[in-house]
Amino acid sequence: MRSRPRARLSVDERRTQLLDLGRRLFNARPYDAISIDEIAAAAGISKGLLYHYFPSKRQFYVEVVRVGAEHVQRLTAVRPELAPAAQLRESIDSFLTYVEKNAAAYGHLLRSGVGTDPEASAIVEGTRRAMVDQVLRSIGLADGRPLVRLVIRGWVGFSEGVTLEWADRRDVPRRDVLKLLATAFETTLTAAATIDPRSAPILNQVVAAIRQSEKPKRPTTTRRVPTVRKKAAAS
């Protein structure tokens, strides 16, 4: 019995398939350990067809990085209807989910791949800037005041260092990492408020909202109002 011929993929479908394969390959091993022959064999296509979509292994890797960066930005995008504290926690939680699922590729990218490829470096740095801009918008300082932008960029770098170490060792509970990054953000804003008087009112307001959201809510108790029974009138 003849096997059915494979359905031909469109150009966009094939490209998406190859980029997904690249994400899985580079998540498992570093860039230098993977050959173009291995990529083509894993995709079940010839090297010639692979080169039709991506002129070189380097360009293939850069596109995998670009797609990954776009994915991170979509994952960590905040919902404007949420309060700043809720936006912060949701964004950090989504970022930790990405790191958990792509730990090896995340580590390879920030530790080695970026340093050897200027284009990949530019993509990663663009993602960092996008994260900083997103935070500034969420706290109501989209005008990008220099000192506030500086401290937010420092917090993004701190978050990268923490998540890299956490992805390698996994010896700290996820909830504690989330709390650490959220607390560091609060401390960062507090420090900025002491140095930048013009931004202090907004920053202090955001910090107060974060602290208020962290307070345990007291259970509401319903007071029972005693009912007074009227004595039946004597007949």
Model confidence over 148-168: pLDDT tens digits? 999 999 999 999 999 999 998
The answer to whether the beta carbons of residues 151 and 188 sit under 8 Å apart is yes
Q: How confident is the model at residue 1 (pLDDT cuts 50, 70, 90)?
A: very low
What is the mean predicted confidence (pLDDT) over 185-199? 95
CA neighbor of 138 nearest in space, from 182, 96, 80: 80
Model confidence over 95-137: pLDDT tens digits? 999 898 888 878 877 765 555 678 888 888 998 999 999 899 8
pLDDT of residue 26: 86
Residues of the chain with pLDDT > 70: what percent? 85
**Cα(215)–Cα(209) distance, rounded to whole angstroms?**
10
Domain 59-213: CATH architecture, name and number where available: Orthogonal Bundle (1.10)
pLDDT of residue 6: 52
Q: How confident is the model at residue 28 (pLDDT cuts 50, 70, 90)?
A: confident
Low-confidence winner among 47-56, 136-145, 156-165, 218-227 (lowest mean pLDDT): 218-227
Q: How confident is the model at residue 235 (pLDDT cuts 50, 70, 90)?
A: very low
Q: 109: which DSSP letter?
A: I
DSSP letter string over 183-209? HHHHHHHHHHHHH-TTTHHHHHHHHHH
69, pLDDT greater than 70: yes
What mean pLDDT is reported for the chain?
Answer: 85
**Cα(190)–Cα(7) distance, rounded to whole angstroms?**
58
pLDDT of residue 233: 47
The answer to whether the beta carbons of residues 58 and 133 sit under 8 Å apart is no
Q: Give the residue extent of every domain in the chain.
A: 59-213
What is the mean predicted confidence (pLDDT) over 32-58? 93
CA neighbor of 151 nearest in space, from 116, 100, 188: 188
216, pLDDT greater than 90: no
Residue 19 vs residue 1, higher pLDDT: 19
Residue 214 vs residue 133, higher pLDDT: 133
pLDDT of residue 149: 95
Burial class (CB in 10 A: 0-12, 13-18, 19+), 91: buried
